[in-house]
Amino acid sequence: MSNEEFDLLDELYFVQPYSYLRDVTGWEDELILKTLDSLYKKGYIKCLSGPDEERFDQVDVRKEGKDLLYLATKKGLMTHNTL
């Protein structure tokens, strides 16, 4: 897990919108979207279109990412806590 992935997972113990992640990290959009995409593909986060509306279809994080909310999965939390 990269440092960026670790740092983003640290913020996703609760549902968070993209704008929150941008504000707390101060990163450029490209880095945030790339990192979210990597975490999503590893199964470490799930994407939501609303606070209680999990996306079960395949999500293109780089394309739709700014309009979504994110939450760490159990797999992501377990990995994050073992590092």
Residue 62 and residue 37 in contact, taking contact as beta carbons nearer than 8 Å: yes
Asked whether residue 36 carries a pLDDT value surpassing 80, the answer given is: yes
Task: Please name the helix (run of DSSP H) or strand (run of DSSP E) that holds residue 28, with its range, or none.
Answer: none
Alpha-carbon distance values, 46 to 62, 74 (Å): 14, 10
pLDDT tens digits, one per residue of 45-77 = 999 999 999 999 999 999 999 999 999 999 999
State the Cα–Cα distance between residues 53 and 69, nearest whole angstrom: 9
* pLDDT score recorded for residue 68: 98
pLDDT band at 83 (very low <50, low <70, confident <90, very high): confident
pLDDT band at 31 (very low <50, low <70, confident <90, very high): very high
pTM for this model (two decimals): 0.94
